[in-house]
Chain A
Amino acid sequence: MPDEYRKRLTKFVEMHANSELMGVLPERDWILRAPTLQRKLALTAKIQDEVGHAQLLYRVVEDLGKPREACLDDLIAGRSKFHNVFHYPTRTWGDVGVIAWLVDAAAIISQKALLKCSYAPYARIMRKICWEESFHILHGRDVILTLVTGTDGQRELVQEALDRWWEPLMMFHGNPIPADEDPMVQWRIKSQGNEEARQQFLEGYVSQVWELGLTLPDPKLRRADDGTWEYTEPDWDKLTAVVSGHGPASAERIAFRRLSRAEVEWVSRAVLAEAA
């Protein structure tokens, strides 16, 4: 395996693993505040799935040569990254629906493209991950549909959450670097360009949002005659700032991860002692 390939792949899968692990924190806040027992169970199951994905992905990283402990150390020290969308707070139950539906929809587009990744052990676990993500989209869509068919207040909750989440969603797939200039595509780690993924997201989901009578906070958003989506260019410097730990909830999330790592340290000690 060429060194540069290993380096890029390790960093990429580690970032993916970090995102799964950090991605449960915004949702975790809502377990105790879920509106019904069914929702609480479904949300807990989703969170278990995401943590499971992190476990699988850290295994791949470990096999590539970076120990899990080192990954977790780097994460809480702010030396490694996780996806932009997990640097934002969740203010209402509407956020939970928007995350499970649209954030997971955006994620599954990138993840499906990884099924063709040149590193087969990564591609194999992506099959399981994609399969489970499809449950999450279903769960999110169900939450949204329940809210938009409820009271005016519930509907407003969704619209307000959507207004806040649209910018991070448009940034999610990254800056529109041409696929043939993207080293991740050249190494066949990724098989699609950033803009291609964003276009696929817009093509698949904008109409699903609009058909519910909801609006998206971008006056320039429209589908051109040739089928490509036009939109207001996101502020890419802001994306860079957010993913390097300067998002509205970055510090709080990393602090929480640090705390929970310290708090559950006894569990791994106990497990290892018991097995010894």
Chain B
Amino acid sequence: MTAVYEVFRRERAGSAMQHAGSIVAPDERFAEIYAREQYGRRGESDALWLVPREAVNEIGEFVDEFDLKYRRVDGYSIKERLKEARERAGAAPAQPGG
């Protein structure tokens, strides 16, 4: 049996781990050998993370059940309101002394 391992690599100390690709291996020992060959043999990585794909708990759906749009940037219609406010200001009588 083989398993898929997701490979994350860090280019240098201090930078973020980034997803690099995946490898397929019969166990962790082989996964390590393959990952070193594929993602580290030219000194291009400072560290690797190997994560069995099965261990990844993916969350992909974000349902807004209670319409909490005030928490999101698209929850405010600034553009239209601003337009309206400007129009009103333009139509208003001139400022005293202006």
Give the interface of A toward B (CB within 8 A). Answer: 52, 55-56, 59, 62-63, 68, 121, 124-125, 128, 131-132, 271-272, 274-276
Q: Report B-chain residues with C-beta under 8 Å of the C-beta of A68.
A: 24
Q: Can you identify 7 A-B contacts, CB atoms within 8 angstroms?
A: A55-B38, A59-B22, A271-B30, A272-B2, A275-B1, A275-B26, A275-B29
- Consensus secondary structure, chain A interface: helix
Q: Report B-chain residues with C-beta under 8 Å of the C-beta of A63.
A: 4, 22
Interface residues on B, range: 10 to 19
State the CA gap A274–B33 with chains docked (Å): 15
Q: Report A-chain residues with C-beta under 8 Å of the C-beta of B24.
A: 59, 62, 68
State the CA gap A55–B24 with chains docked (Å): 9
Given A52-B37, A55-B38, A56-B38, does the pair A272, B22 have CB atoms closer than 8 Å?
no
Determine which of B4, B20, B23, B26 lies in contact with A271 in the assembled complex, contact meaning CB atoms within 8 Å. Answer: B26
Determine which of B21, B39, B42 lies in contact with A59 in the assembled complex, contact meaning CB atoms within 8 Å. Answer: B21
Extra inter-chain contacts (4) besides given A124-B20, A128-B20, A272-B26, CB under 8 Å: A128-B21, A128-B39, A275-B29, A275-B30
State the CA gap A276–B1 with chains docked (Å): 7
State the CA gap A125–B9 with chains docked (Å): 12
- Contact (Cβ within 8 A) B2 A124: no
State the CA gap A130–B24 with chains docked (Å): 22
B1-50 contacts to A, CB under 8 A, are: 1-2, 4, 19-24, 26-27, 29-30, 37-39, 42, 44
- Contact (Cβ within 8 A) A275 B38: no
Given A52-B37, A55-B38, A56-B38, does the pair A272, B21 have CB atoms closer than 8 Å?
no
State the CA gap A55–B22 with chains docked (Å): 10
- Contact (Cβ within 8 A) B23 A59: yes
- Contact (Cβ within 8 A) B21 A56: yes
Of B1, B22, B29, most buried by chain A (CB within 10 Å of CB) is: B22
Of B2, B21, B23, B26, most buried by chain A (CB within 10 Å of CB) is: B21
- Contact (Cβ within 8 A) B21 A124: yes
Smallest CB–CB gap between B35 and chain A, Å? 11
- Contact (Cβ within 8 A) A275 B27: yes
Smallest CB–CB gap between A206 and chain B, Å? 31
Smallest CB–CB gap between B52 and chain A, Å? 14
State the CA gap A56–B35 with chains docked (Å): 11
Smallest CB–CB gap between A61 and chain B, Å? 12
State the CA gap A275–B29 with chains docked (Å): 9
Q: Report A-chain residues with C-beta under 8 Å of the C-beta of B20.
A: 124-125, 128
In the complex, which residue of chain B has the Cβ closest to the Cβ of A127? B20
State the CA gap A132–B41 with chains docked (Å): 11
**4 interchain residue pairs of minimum CB distance:** A275-B26, A275-B27, A125-B21, A272-B26
Smallest CB–CB gap between A114 and chain B, Å? 14
Q: Report B-chain residues with C-beta under 8 Å of the C-beta of A132.
A: 42
Of A56, A63, A125, A274, most buried by chain B (CB within 10 Å of CB) is: A56
Smallest CB–CB gap between A46 and chain B, Å? 12
Q: Report A-chain residues with C-beta under 8 Å of the C-beta of B42.
A: 132
B54-69 contacts to A, CB under 8 A, are: none
Smallest CB–CB gap between A57 and chain B, Å? 10
